[in-house]
Amino acid sequence: MGAGKSTVGARVAELTARRFVDLDRLIEKRHGSIPELFERGEAEFRRIEEETLAEVLAGSESVIALGGGAVLSPLNRERLELRAFTVYIDVGVETAWGRVRGSDRPLARREEDFRKLYESRQAVYVEAADAVARDGEGVLLAALGIRVGGEVDASGPVEIVADERVVELHPPPLDATILLVPAGEAAKSLSVAQRLWSSLTVGREGTIVAFGGGSTTDVAGFAAATYLRGVRWAAVPTTLTGMVDAAIGGKTGINTVDGKNLAGAFHFPDAVVIDRATLRTLPDREWRAGMAEVVKTGLLAGRDMWSLPEEEMIRACAAYKAGIVLSDPYENEGRRVFLNLGHTFAHALEAGSGYRVSHGEAVALGLLAALRLSGQPTDAVEEILRPEPVDADLEAAWEALKRDKKGEGVFVLLEASGKPVVTNVRDDEARAALAALVRQ
């Protein structure tokens, strides 16, 4: 009681596009107020609670705020273990009592009794929970196994797939065999994947740990998805781009002669462990590439995430992406398409420059084009990212853009800050927006 489950649950439901169910409110709607039900006997209330929870768990995907005593029932705990990811919202007793004192809650009449109840329930809460969090961001991060700080906890045999440059600068996250891959996009090739398949020795009970930037997590995740028809993996991203975007969401892949990321699989990591210490050696160009993804995320969320302190910024961006991914895990024409804001133009510029333009530069310019087409202010992009037109073959870039959109002219734009929309753009407008990004 008083942990804020209803407030947190409603926010998580909004960010994951799921229905929200406050179990106590649903019970009251059907059976009368909880104080009245308790007057008839707590056992009767608990029976109703068990039946209602079973019904909700059997329905469509939901975010459920449980009553404070729901997990005391062994039957409820069994059902939650089978059907739900359960998070314990952990707040101190002082905070909880401050929120419930003076209310009509049957088990919050006297402070002494409340404190005893709080202490008596802690062990059950911890046992029943798959994770512990304090707020909505924490719930979203926990649901995808994302941790800011901490260590990789991998059971069974482990092998590390690491960026060859990163291991020269930072100790690996575990003491295990290391398989090196080239830095950057060179890692995402069929030849590198084949070498990993031949070199890996972990069995199906093992775990592959990716240690590097987005290219490393892409190829290592792809190897994990395809080796022995799939083994567990964990990501330890070492770049800002990886921490806020690339390592999150289960999209893995390699490039082919026909384009980027054309061979891949959805294969979610068991954990994404973010160690900000690796950012100390990050080149400025890579930091700016990551900030392009931060600005994109802030525009989508309607928050100035780029103004937050570093750890809060990373946490907020990772949590926002986790919410989008949870709402559309396999990109089935749902909200996950919003993450392409600016990326249609970015991919075109990369292709039109023969990939001499970096992904970060291209995304910054792509965001500028998307905001211009949206009729939205471009201040954040211009002030934070400062993009400049680049050298690229406009015709080649336009052809790549048309291939990317399959000729349909569909783009992700913004109706307003925090309100992305998928809409059609006329070819002449899209081409003019692209041309403005190319140095004349």
Residue 59's pLDDT is: 93
Return the amino acid letter for 331. Answer: E
Cβ-based neighbours of 84, under 8 Å, separated by 6 or more: 57, 64
Instruction: Output the CA angle 214-286-354, nearest 5 degrees.
Output: 75
The answer for 174, left when phi > 0, alpha when psi is -120 to 50, beta otherwise, is beta
Q: How far is CA 31 from CA 40, 220, 349, 356, in A?
A: 12, 53, 60, 66
**CA-CA distance, 102 to 124, in Å (whole number)?**
26
pLDDT, tens digit (0-9, with 9 covering 90-100), for 363-393: 999 999 999 999 999 999 999 999 999 999 9
**CA-CA distance, 208 to 172, in Å (whole number)?**
13
Would you say 326 and 277 are in contact if contact means Cβ atoms under 8 Å apart?
no
Instruction: Output the CA angle 273-219-323, nearest 5 degrees.
Output: 45
Residue 75's pLDDT is: 97
Return the amino acid letter for 57. Answer: L
Give the closest residue to 415 by CA, choosing from 362, 319, 347, 338. Answer: 338
Among 1.10.240.10, 3.40.50.1970, 3.20.20.150, 3.40.50.9100, name the CATH number for the domain at 158-282. 3.40.50.1970
Residues 324/330/333/338 CA torsion (nearest 10 deg): 30
Q: Do domains 5-135 and 158-282 have the same CATH topology?
A: yes
**CA-CA distance, 393 to 257, in Å (whole number)?**
19
So where are the chain's domains? 5-135, 158-282, 335-435
| Beta-sheet pairing, 177-181 with 158-163 | parallel
Q: How far is CA 104 from CA 3, 107, 112, 371, 385, in A?
A: 16, 9, 16, 50, 53
pLDDT, tens digit (0-9, with 9 covering 90-100), for 417-438: 999 999 999 999 999 999 999 9
The radius of gyration of the chain's CA atoms, rounded to the nearest angstrom, is 24
Cβ-based neighbours of 97, under 8 Å, separated by 6 or more: 2, 108, 111, 114, 115, 118
Residue 406's pLDDT is: 65
Question: Looking up tokens 């100790």, which residue turns up?
Answer: 171
Question: Looking up tokens 């059971």, which residue turns up?
Answer: 155
In the chain, which residues have pLDDT < 50? none
**CA-CA distance, 401 to 392, in Å (whole number)?**
13
Residue 201, SS3 per DSSP = coil
Residue 102's pLDDT is: 84
Helix (H) or strand (E) holding 263: strand 259-266
Q: Which CATH class is domain 5-135?
A: alpha beta
Question: Looking up tokens 């398409």, which residue turns up?
Answer: 337
Token couple for 158? 């482990």
**CA-CA distance, 39 to 49, in Å (whole number)?**
15
Residue 266's pLDDT is: 97
Cβ-based neighbours of 131, under 8 Å, separated by 6 or more: 85, 86, 87, 88, 139, 142, 143
Cα-Cα end-to-end distance for the chain: 63
Q: Domain spanning 335-435: which superfamily?
A: Dehydroquinate synthase-like - alpha domain (1.20.1090.10)
Q: How far is CA 396 from CA 356, 421, 438, in A?
A: 13, 27, 12
